Amino acid sequence: MNDSYAKGLLGHSTAGEHERLLLLEKLCDPGTIRILERLPLTRSWTCVDVGAGTGSVARWLADRCPEGQITATDLDTRFLESMPRPDNLAVSQQDVTTTDFPANSLDLVHARAVLTHLPYPEIVVQRMSSWLKPGGWLVIEDPSYLPAQASPYPDFAALLLACEKLLAQTHGTDNSWARRIPRVMAEARLTNLKMSAELSACGRDELEDAYWRQCFSQAIPALMTSGLMTEQQINRAIEHLDQPEFTDIAWMMVSCWGQRQ
Ligand SMILES: C[S@@+](CC[C@H](N)C(=O)[O-])C[C@H]1O[C@@H](n2cnc3c(N)ncnc32)[C@H](O)[C@@H]1O
């Protein structure tokens, strides 16, 4: 297993990571499903969800492609193994940077919030494109945190910036990746490229706040031990979430999809 992800802040053994991923899927699935519904999905498509996390997208695909075959892959499959799943949904422990599916074998490859954490995402896009049948679709979604410094709440800006630095230090997460996706997909000779973006804001609704509170609480010990923030600074930033007038854009989920020629 790729140790750096597994041992980092977002590793599946980290306390609260299962809850965070369940909140992430609730937050992001409606946007992902809107995109998947724009594709010419048939009942017999063969699909792979890379870095499937807790498996909700793979389960949705299995439901929509009952005569097809769906594979949910992840570096760490513990949350996938425990989910109820139909016969057309397989779980496979794989590192997308080192393993392959046969060339020209898939109708759809989807990866959400995965490539931003990988060291050479461009190579992974090339690799995933090669798995597609001619006419098959690649859907890549990754968050962009916008410039954290631009937040009009300085305490909150400091927290977002510190989280970004922490993810870069512990996982190699690259916040600039999302902006490069369209170019990299074009370079992989994918056509019919389409894009969309969904904002996630703090202080807007209960689900979003629950997600962000979970992220921050998971990060607190590492933020303090790494010296990126003191406890008082963190508390001042998080207190914003209790103020009814507070709202701030936290990220933008950038989604791009394209078709193999
Ligand atoms: C932030 S989570 C996103 C989970 C899910 N895609 C979602 O959006 O709900 C990232 C997932 O990618 C997996 N992952 C990280 N590096 C990976 C790699 N090299 N190969 C396969 N999966 C990986 C992690 O284990 C984790 O489940």
CATH of the domain at 104: 3.40.50.150
Q: CA 245 → CA 202, 203, 213, distances in Å?
A: 11, 8, 17
Is there an atom of ligand 1 within 6 Å of 58 CB? Answer: no
Closest ligand 1 atom, residue 76 Cα: 25
Q: Is the CB of 112 under 6 A from ligand 1?
A: yes
In a domain, 163, yes or no: no
Confidence (pLDDT) at 1:
47
H/E segment holding residue 198:
strand 190-202
From the CA of 129, how far away is ligand 1's center (Å)?
A: 18
Assess if residue 220 is contained within a domain: no
* Token duo for residue 247: 């709202």
Give the span between the Cα atoms of 79 and 48, in whole angstroms.
Answer: 17
| Rounded CA separation 26/29 (Å) | 6
Q: How far, in Å, from the CA of 78 to the mean position of ligand 1?
A: 12
Average pLDDT over residues 183-205: 95
- For residue 141, being part of any structural domain is answered with yes
* Residue 33, in any domain of the structure: yes
Examine residue 225 and state whether it is found in any structural domain, yes or no.
Answer: no
The residue nearest atom 20 of ligand 1, judged by CA position, is 95
pLDDT at 2 over 60: no
Distance 88 CA to ligand 1 centre (A): 21
Helix (H) / strand (E) containing 136? strand 132-144
Q: How far is the CA of 241 from the centre of ligand 1 (A)?
A: 27
Q: At what angle do helices 121-131 and 177-187 cross, to 10 degrees?
A: 40
Residue whose CB lies within 8 A of the most ligand 1 atoms, among 1, 2, 5, 70, for a mutation test: 5
Residue 78 is inside which H or E element, if any?
A: helix 78-81
* Mean pLDDT score, 58-75: 98
Give the model's pLDDT for residue 146: 85
Rounded to the nearest integer, the mean pLDDT of the chain is 95
Whether 228 is in a domain gets the answer no
Is residue 45's pLDDT more than 70? yes
Please compute the mean of the pLDDT values over residues 138-163 and round it to a whole number: 94
Domain coverage including residue 98? 3-145+173-198+250-260
Look at residue 77 in the predicted model and tell me its pLDDT: 97
Estimate to the nearest angstrom the gap between the alpha carbon of 235 and the chain centroid: 27
Residue at 182 is within a domain: yes
Interatomic CA distance for residues 202 and 210, integer angstroms: 9
Residue 168: inside a domain: no
CA of 12 from ligand 1 middle (Å) equals 10
Say whether pLDDT at 243 is over 70: yes
What is the count of structural domains for the chain?
1
